[in-house]
Structure 1
Amino acid sequence: MDREASVGQRFTHVYVERGKPVLDSKRMRRRIYQFVMKHYSYGTAIELLHRELGVDIGFSASDLRGFYENSDVKDILDSITIIYWNIFERDSEYPSTNYANEWLFNIGRILKEENVGYVLDKHCGVHYSIDEEFNRARAASIQGIESARYDAVRHEFEKSYLALDAIPPDTKGAVRGSFESVEILFRLICNDTKCQRLGTAEIRTFLKPKFDILYASDTAERNSAGLLLISMENWVSAVHFYRHGQAVETPRPPPIEVCLVMLTQAAAYLRWLAEIDKMLMTLP
């Protein structure tokens, strides 16, 4: 272990195995409550949360504490954002204060230290924390489809990630959105009225010949690209189980770990296909 990196860190943050992030935590709830009390009187906090959440908290400080200790976690997470914007409005009246950023920093620190599976955006919106590599893949894909030509592609791709922010995560919606984004880009590349969908046969019929042209000068590149197209066919087949009706009374959405693999692969195919599209447009 790097002793220099651990200087000044809590013992439990250095030596205790944190395990898999959880979606709720008693310590997280108690610590958030303490920071609420730092910024508000209990009466003001109760009034704000009652008005914005529509929950019946009570009238006393112990009632407010009970709300943070016992309410549904979705209300606790909503309160984080509600309080941020209320503090932000107060800060705007007094330019010398910056309590909103203090709230953002401290709540973000609590979520990280208590190992709960949420992260905050720059305005204290709460989102599921997947992992850094997953988020990097998302950002890289969006960067590759920023031009106006890919507006519809980008819309569906971003919609797939928004589905993951639902409580609970809408994994079926996420998978469907990711597929739609790849399908739209696939049809843009093929540019053929006979190509109306993304399927395994369509990949072989409309996309593979274009790859053979692009990689005609190098056998290794052509063979490698061909195998990657086969993996894309397998991805399409896997996604179809969740795009079409399942032959069961109560269809099951994809489990989160399967959903994340499917979205990660969709992000990779989008980056690749966007580059292919640009290469094809340069051909005579």
Structure 2
Amino acid sequence: MDRDTFGVVLAKKLGIPVPSNYRYGDYWPKIMENLELRDFLDTITVLYQTLENKFQPERSRVTRERLLQEAREIFEEEQIAYQIDDQGGVHLKIDAAFEGERASLISGLGDARYNNVRSNLDATFQALDETPPDYKGAVRAIFSAAEGLFKLIFSKPLQMNTAEIQARLKPAIDRIYADNTPALRSSHKQVESLRDWVDGAHVYRHESGTEEPSPPPAETAVLIVSQGMAFIRWLVAIDRLLMPQPLPSPEGTS
């Protein structure tokens, strides 16, 4: 990988003009300063990808690791609100708790049954990773993930709203925890919280009196997405509890 190659690749990958003086190292700081933020962040990803050399895999690994380490140190020192994953992808940095919940939730949706939920979750995180973040898109996508899961569990409802939650989820909770009064009472409160969450998210899907709702502020969007992830995790657990148990094998068979 050399400067000549990188300049050509960068222009092609990002669809941006790169001045002819990119071949000279002294000009790169100015080139980077003139990039839009999204293109600047994508430059890290493109560089990471182009550092692969299939004929020198160990050298490629070391060079890539050095790039990630140095870039992360710079981001940390400059307090940049983005983080770099192990593949060179740059994502909006929210906090450790959010990132942990994101990773844990995705890993818990491995069944093919939840493919649509995962797809909408991917759209949620992609919206957050845009530059600038698409907070309204993230809220809409997390709602679609939760609503799709709700429809999957209960089959019949055309949408997830407060009436459907009360009519379908509450009776399911009553059946599951019929013999566990503390769990039943607590879960009833979670049903109420889910109804409130749905009402809050609906504001950014169908704002009354406007064709297109205004985007939520960052802190509101992060809260809605965080709560949505928690409710999705809970609904997945409810879904699995409601699934028919497999019949026992006939005696004498395995």
3-state DSSP class of the match of 1:168? coil
Distance 1:213 1:225 in 2: 12
Q: Mark the CA change 1:95 to 1:205 in structure 2 (over 3 Å): closer, same or farther.
A: closer
Q: Mark the CA change 1:51 to 1:150 in structure 2 (over 3 Å): closer, same or farther.
A: closer
3-state DSSP class of the match of 2:110? coil
| CA offsets 1:3-27 (integer angstroms, 9 cap, x no match) | xxxxxxxxxxxxxxxxxxxxxxxxx
Partner of 1:261: 223
Q: Which of 217, 236, 239 lines up with 1:274 in the alignment?
A: 236
State the one-letter code of the partner of 1:239. A
Partner of 2:100: 136
Q: Give aligned pairs, total.
A: 241
Contact 1:182-1:269 within 8 A present in 2 as well: yes
Superposition pairs of residues 35-184 of structure 1, within 5 angstroms: 40=2, 45-53=6-14, 54-59=16-21, 60-88=24-52, 91-97=53-59, 98-184=62-148
Contact 1:46-1:64 within 8 A present in 2 as well: no
Distance 1:220 1:250 in 2: 43
Deviation at 1:77, TM superposition (A): 1.3
**Alignment of 1:247 onto 2:209:** yes
Q: Mark the CA change 1:44 to 1:157 in structure 2 (over 3 Å): closer, same or farther.
A: closer
Q: Mark the CA change 1:221 to 1:48 in structure 2 (over 3 Å): closer, same or farther.
A: closer
Deviation at 1:188, TM superposition (A): 2.0
State the one-letter code of the partner of 2:164. E
Relative contact order: is structure 1 or structure 2 higher (C-alpha 8 Å, sep ≥ 6)? Answer: 1
Contact 1:57-1:64 within 8 A present in 2 as well: no
3-state DSSP class of the match of 2:57? coil
| 4+ long deviations beyond 4 Å | 43-48
Deviation at 1:86, TM superposition (A): 1.7
Q: Mark the CA change 1:207 to 1:49 in structure 2 (over 3 Å): closer, same or farther.
A: closer
| CA offsets 1:77-131 (integer angstroms, 9 cap, x no match) | 121112222222xx32323413122212211221122211111122211111111
Partner of 1:223: 185
Distance 2:108 2:28 in 1: 47
Q: Runs of 5+ in structure 2 lacking a partner? A: 248-254
User: Normalization by structure 2: what TM-score?
Assistant: 0.86
Contact 2:177-2:183 within 8 A present in 1 as well: yes
User: Normalization by structure 1: what TM-score?
Assistant: 0.77
Distance 2:89 2:183 in 1: 44
